[in-house]
């Protein structure tokens, strides 16, 4: 089978976070991505993106999918519309990358994955924390065995950054912290430590002005026997506020990796310790505050493009992401029942 060398990409959703996707596709032109059209039900946003990136604008997904010979769509609308838009692509045999959370519930996520499978269409979830430069470099250290068998970790996404300013809808989400940011840290826990046997969880709502939980503290027992603490909160009033960085403490039988504010790592391997700066350079379109998140988009999109062109599943395929989302649901169940819970998929 002749492998494709280029992919025609359609962007669905031109809102706040999609700007990073759009810049990433433009940067990946040399790697084979051809952004050809954008779609947003808000015509102003669609036109603005189309003008900035020199592509066609649509206000209807159906119209774009019927008019443009796309290889895949990149869906960066909010969670309520993911299933409907992903189905429209799958039914036409067009691949899809869907932003996190894939869907509001695990059952909806399974339905999206099943629809793609039924139509034989390629499906990836844009879960990008693991693709960030620091996370990829740390994964390489762990995979080399430099710290031995991993047996304990603490993964922390702790901030008081005003996420509600750029994402005002978050203040009204009934399920907030685990579904929005805890999902990223749970995916990192799987990425570094493997699949999960059981999870326990405590949630808090420390900010009375919002609808959902703003703080989650989770404990995971991995199938390897390792234990990890996974934390996410928007109410950590501390300095430095490292948003949107995830801090790490990963311990193994022969050493450890500590990821400190500013993406500085202290690596201890068999009684030798050294420091590494893992922060990547600011890009022309990234900014100091969001850079760690934005550069993860570029690397994630590069991965999705490569895998699509190779005809292979993404690391964060629909099927893979079911195991992360199953942890989200298990965490909410654990918080409600005050018991540890086995995730439905692992």
Closest CA to 46 of 27, 24, 26, 19: 19
Q: How far is the CB of 312 from ligand NAD (least distance, A)?
A: 22
Binding positions for ligand NAD, 103-162, rule CB under 6 A: 126, 128
What distances in angstroms separate CA 22 from CA 28, 35, 186, 295, one per listed residue? 10, 8, 26, 12
Least distance (Å) between residue 63 CB and ligand NAD? 10
Rounded to the nearest whole angstrom, what is the least distance from the CB of residue 219 to ligand NAD in the complex?
Answer: 24
The length of the chain is 346
Min separation Cβ 30 and ligand NAD, Å: 23
321 class by beta-carbon count within 10 Å (0-12 exposed, 13-18 middle, 19+ buried) = buried
Residue nearer to ligand 89V on the CB measure, 152 or 164: 164
Task: Encode burial over 61-91: b for 16+ CB neighbours within 10 A, e otherwise.
Answer: beebbeebebbbbbbbbebeebbebbbbbbe
Residues 9-48, interacting with ligand NAD (CB under 6 A):
12-18, 39-42, 45
Identify which of residues 123 and 141 has a Cβ nearer to ligand NAD in the complex: 123
User: Residue 64 belongs to what H/E stretch?
Assistant: helix 61-67
Please tell me whether residue 321 binds ligand NAD under the rule CB under 6 A: no
Measured between alpha carbons, how far is residue 214 from residues 27, 34, 149, 340 in Å?
35, 39, 33, 20
Q: Which residues bind ligand 89V (CB under 6 A)?
A: 163, 167, 180-181, 244, 293
Who contacts 300 (Cβ-Cβ below 8 Å, separation ≥6)?
Answer: 24, 126, 127, 128, 131, 316
Binding mask 75-114 for ligand NAD (x = CB under 6 A): -xxxx-x---x-------------xx--------------
Reference 302, options 143, 140, 124; nearest CA is 124
| 83 or 293: CB nearest ligand 89V | 293
Q: Tell me whether residue 152 or residue 290 sits nearer to ligand 89V (CB atom).
A: 290
The binder of 14, among ligand NAD, ligand 89V, none, by C-beta within 5 to 8 A per type, is: ligand NAD
**Residue 228 CB, nearest approach to ligand NAD (Å):** 20
Contact between 254 and 178 (Cβ < 8 Å):
no
> Alpha-carbon torsion 211, 214, 220, 222, what sign?
positive
200 binds, among ligand 89V, ligand NAD, none (CB under 5 to 8 A by kind): none
Whole-angstrom Cα distance, residue 48 to residue 11? 13
Binding mask 160-179 for ligand NAD (x = CB under 6 A): -------x------------
Q: Taking the complex as a whole, how short is the minimal distance between the CB of residue 167 and ligand 89V, in angstroms?
A: 6
Euclidean distance between CA atoms 110 and 108, whole angstroms: 5
Residue bearing tokens 């774009």: 64
Residue 181 binding: pick among ligand 89V, ligand NAD, none (C-beta 5-8 Å cut-off by kind): ligand 89V
Distance, in Å, from the CA atom of 97 to the CA atom of 73, rounded to the nearest integer, reads 6
Instruction: Tell me how far, at minimum, the Cβ of 21 lies from ligand NAD, in Å.
Output: 9
The entry of ligand 89V, ligand NAD, none near residue 163 (CB within 5 to 8 angstroms by kind) is: ligand 89V
Tokens read off for 233 = 């909160």
Give the interface with ligand NAD as residue ranges (CB under 6 A): 12-18, 39-42, 45, 61, 76-79, 81, 85, 99-100, 126, 128, 167, 293
């Amino acid at each position: 089978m002749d492998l494709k060398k280029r992919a025609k990409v359609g962007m669905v959703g031109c809102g706040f976070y999609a700007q990073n996707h759009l810049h990433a596709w433009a940067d990946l032109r040399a790697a084979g991505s051809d952004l050809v059209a954008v779609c947003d039900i808000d015509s102003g946003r669609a036109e603005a993106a189309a003008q900035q990136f020199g592509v066609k604008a649509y206000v209807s997904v159906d119209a774009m999918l019927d008019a443009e010979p796309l290889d895949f769509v990149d869906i960066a609308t909010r969670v309520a519309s993911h299933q409907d838009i992903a189905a429209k692509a799958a039914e036409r045999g067009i691949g899809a990358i869907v932003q996190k959370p894939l869907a509001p519930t695990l059952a909806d996520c399974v339905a999206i994955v099943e629809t793609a499978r039924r139509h034989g269409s390629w499906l990836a979830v844009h879960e990008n924390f693991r693709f960030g430069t620091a996370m990829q470099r740390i994964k390489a250290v762990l995979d080399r065995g430099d710290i031995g068998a991993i047996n304990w970790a603490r993964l922390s996404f702790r901030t008081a950054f005003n996420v509600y300013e750029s994402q005002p809808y978050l203040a009204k989400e009934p399920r907030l912290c685990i579904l929005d940011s805890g999902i990223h840290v749970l995916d990192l826990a799987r990425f570094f430590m493997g699949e999960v046997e059981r999870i326990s969880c405590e949630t808090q709502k420390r900010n009375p002005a919002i609808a959902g939980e703003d703080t989650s503290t989770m404990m995971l027992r991995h199938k390897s026997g390792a234990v990890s603490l996974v934390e996410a909160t928007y109410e950590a009033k501390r300095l430095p506020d490292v948003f949107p960085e995830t801090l790490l403490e990963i311990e193994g039988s022969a050493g450890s990796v500590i990821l400190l504010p500013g993406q500085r790592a202290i690596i201890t391997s068999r009684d030798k310790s050294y420091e590494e700066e893992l922060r990547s350079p600011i890009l022309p379109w990234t900014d100091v505050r969001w850079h760690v998140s934005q550069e993860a988009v570029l690397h994630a999109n590069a991965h999705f493009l490569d895998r699509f062109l190779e005809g292979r599943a993404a690391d964060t395929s629909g099927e893979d992401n079911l195991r992360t989302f199953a942890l989200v649901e298990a965490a909410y169940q654990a918080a409600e029942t005050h018991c540890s819970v086995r995730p439905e998929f692992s």
